Chain A
């Protein structure tokens, strides 16, 4: 990912923002991404207007942090202000392709299906407000429908005249600016990005593979009892146990967590688990759940639910696609028995879990049926060896035998 087009600004100069606020929507070849702000303060100026395509790392806007912003509200002598915080999209070029869901819901007239140019954020708002996107006039790049367009349509307010600026910008750039992609274009772009990352992985990383079956009867029994006493909105999915076990097992074998950069292993400073999430329309994305080893199962579940929902709604945040230190892929209930992953460079390991299924399992000379999951590890042989990898999988197994301690 090298460049992005500003689809829409959600703030204007003078707006007050706080850490974590979404201030802009940026369209890239891989995804439409919500840009978060990392400092509280006042928006001073928008540097890159909507519709313009700029390289990653370009300053998009300047923010006066709270210290400096005060004069605007309550005048006081100007202090030797520190330079305004700048907003840069925090992208990393190797992340597998994020999703974009561009197809309108099936209430749409089929003639427009798949061809509407609409940002995922706008689509989500349209669903919430019950707005028929086929009747909305887009004012974004190439007529793309933005969140503001949807909100205007919901209020039946006519759109403002199209701004004159974009055509000038387009001339300056020597051609028309990059539009929001349609579903088909996005699919092609996503395959290209996945292809590049996976070819790099298989070309550069000497993978080794290990696998072991894990008895899940304790984990599943504990989970069933736990969910029985929980209200529906608080229930846990078993993948939360798998994620936590993999993250905690890193304490035993830290060389599974981190990056191979410039010929050396750089251990991860925290455990940010990339969760491979498949998209219904094809492709996948592995955004990061942060600090999984330190979070409770409830926190991980809440984070996972939020992440999956936003991946599928096409509204990932810039920080989430940047910084996974290890990846976990779980095939889920309708998968097959086992999966051996391909490491996402520059990470050094990927843990795989197959479908949980009843299998014959012998204990003390007696065979019974137990729920079993095939756990696998693909790891980078430049960083670790099979013995360490085996200890890592064994630690995951051990942790899953005591789910109440996770």
Chain B
């Protein structure tokens, strides 16, 4: 999967979780929780959705790496087949 494809996947899932959020203006290096007001349920839903879409198992201890858009891309890049 290319970085662009991973980014598009994350944004698509964010749009489902937070349809009213301005994901188009998301700064890829700033905590998404702060930018579009995500809570722990949103992060869990995002993790589940990314797991279902990629097959990558994301342990809870890795959640801190998943809080920015670029963090998600970096984590999934090396693991998605």
Contacts and interface: CB of A to CB of B under 8 A. Distances in A.
Interface of A: 101, 103-107, 123, 127, 183, 224, 227-228, 231-233, 235, 237, 239, 278, 280-281, 304-305, 308-309, 312-313, 332-334
Contacts of A228: 59-61
Nearest to A232: B51
Contact of A103 (B19, B57, B58, B59): B19
Contact of B41 (A105, A123, A237): A237
A179 B42 CA distance: 31
Contact of A123 (B19, B57, B59): B19
The interface size bin for chain B is: 20 to 34
A281 B20 contact: yes
Interface of B: 15-24, 33-34, 36-37, 39-41, 44-45, 47-48, 51-52, 57-61
A106 B40 contact: no
30 contacts: A101-B19, A101-B20, A103-B19, A103-B20, A104-B19, A105-B19, A105-B20, A106-B21, A106-B23, A127-B15, A127-B19, A228-B61, A232-B57, A232-B58, A233-B51, A235-B44, A237-B40, A237-B41, A237-B44, A239-B40, A278-B39, A280-B18, A280-B37, A305-B44, A305-B45, A309-B41, A309-B45, A312-B17, A312-B18, A313-B19
Contacts of A107: 15
Given A232-B48, A235-B44, A280-B21, A224 B60 contact: yes
A378 to B, nearest CB: 22
A332 B60 contact: no
A37 to B, nearest CB: 27
Contacts of A123: 19
Contacts of B58: 232
The B interface is mostly helix, strand or loop, or mixed, namely: helix
B20 A280 contact: yes
Contacts of B23: 106
Contacts of B40: 237, 239, 332-333
Contacts of B52: 233
A280 B22 CA distance: 11
Contacts of A309: 41, 45
B44 to A, nearest CB: 6
Nearest to B58: A232
A276 B59 CA distance: 28
A281 B33 CA distance: 14
A237 B57 CA distance: 17
A281 B19 CA distance: 11
Contacts of B41: 237, 304-305, 308-309
B15 A105 contact: yes
A229 to B, nearest CB: 10
A224 B60 CA distance: 8
A101 B15 CA distance: 13
Contacts of B21: 106, 280
Given A228-B61, A232-B48, 10 more contacts: A106-B23, A107-B15, A127-B15, A228-B59, A232-B58, A280-B21, A280-B36, A305-B41, A308-B41, A312-B17
Nearest to A99: B20
A206 B60 CA distance: 43
B57 A231 contact: yes
A107 B44 CA distance: 24
A257 to B, nearest CB: 25
Nearest to A237: B40
A227 B33 CA distance: 21
B56 to A, nearest CB: 9
B15 A233 contact: no
A71 to B, nearest CB: 45
A304 B18 CA distance: 17
